[in-house]
Amino acid sequence: MAMDAIGAAADFNAMQFARPNQAAGARTLTPEQQQEVQKLRQIDRKVREHEAAHMAAGAGLAGGAHFEYVRGPDGRQYAVAGEVKIDVSPAQTPQQTIAKARRIQAAALAPADPSAQDRAVAAQAAQMAAKAQTELRRQEREEREAGQGGDMTSTLASTRASRAVAAYAWQEAEPKSVLSLYA
């Protein structure tokens, strides 16, 4: 089963990844630290909403969300990036694959602000759907050709049979009619 990830990553170059764990109430936060905590809360909320949108739209195809965390100056963990694994393998039939590809695209593009990875997964799903559509057309063409070929064969066989029956009937019928005409 092929899996790919769709997710969000916040731009947090200016933030520090690790801070010493502060004991609760050991000291109050500076205005800069309070501002950083506020920014981390916003990022955490956006990342969680982003991944929740993927999970909701990809129900049945998507797994749970996995997050990367940063410890804030207040000692708490904040999600700053996340991903949702999604099954991007083809289905059993071209029709099922096309439907699945549409669901994958919907899941990948579900958040209000899809990431570059989200768009890449949606593009991969579009390619999967296009291949399945091509395969479906090929199958339908083969079925039509087989149906026409089968009809031609049965038509040809029935034509030959009717000619043979007609010839046999004609051979027997002709002498009677000839006798009738001359009598």
- For the CA atoms of 140, 144, 145, 148, the dihedral, rounded to the nearest 10 degrees, stands at 170
Residue 79 lies in a domain: yes
Question: In which order are the strands placed within the sheet that holds 3-9?
Answer: 3-9, 77-87, 62-71
Number of domains in the chain: 1
* Angstrom distance (rounded) from CA 125 to CA 56: 18
What tens-digit pLDDT sequence spans the chain (183 residues)? Answer: 555 666 555 544 444 444 444 444 456 999 999 999 999 999 999 999 999 999 999 988 988 999 999 999 999 999 999 999 999 999 999 999 999 999 999 999 999 999 999 999 999 999 999 999 999 999 999 888 887 755 555 555 555 555 555 555 444 444 333 332 333
User: What's the pLDDT score for residue 12?
Assistant: 45
Residue 149 lies in a domain: no
Residue 143 lies in a domain: no
User: What's the pLDDT score for residue 147?
Assistant: 77
C-beta neighbour count of 133 within 10 angstroms: 15
Supply the Cα-derived Rg of the chain in whole angstroms.
35
Bridge partners of 38, per DSSP, are: none
Structure tokens of 39?
């920014």
Residue 170 lies in a domain: no
Residue 142 lies in a domain: no
Identity at 50, one-letter amino acid code: H
User: What's the pLDDT score for residue 173?
Assistant: 41
Nearest to 76 by CA among 123, 44, 100: 44
On the CB side of 85, CA atoms within 13 Å amount to 8
Residue 68 lies in a domain: yes
Nearest to 56 by CA among 19, 103, 13: 103
User: What's the pLDDT score for residue 166?
Assistant: 53
User: What's the pLDDT score for residue 145?
Assistant: 85
Is 0.75 surpassed by the pTM of this model? Answer: no
Identity at 131, one-letter amino acid code: K
User: What's the pLDDT score for residue 17?
Assistant: 45
Domain ranges, residue 69: 3-137
Residue 165 lies in a domain: no
Residue 183 lies in a domain: no
User: What's the pLDDT score for residue 168?
Assistant: 52
User: What's the pLDDT score for residue 42?
Assistant: 97
C-beta neighbour count of 61 within 10 angstroms: 20
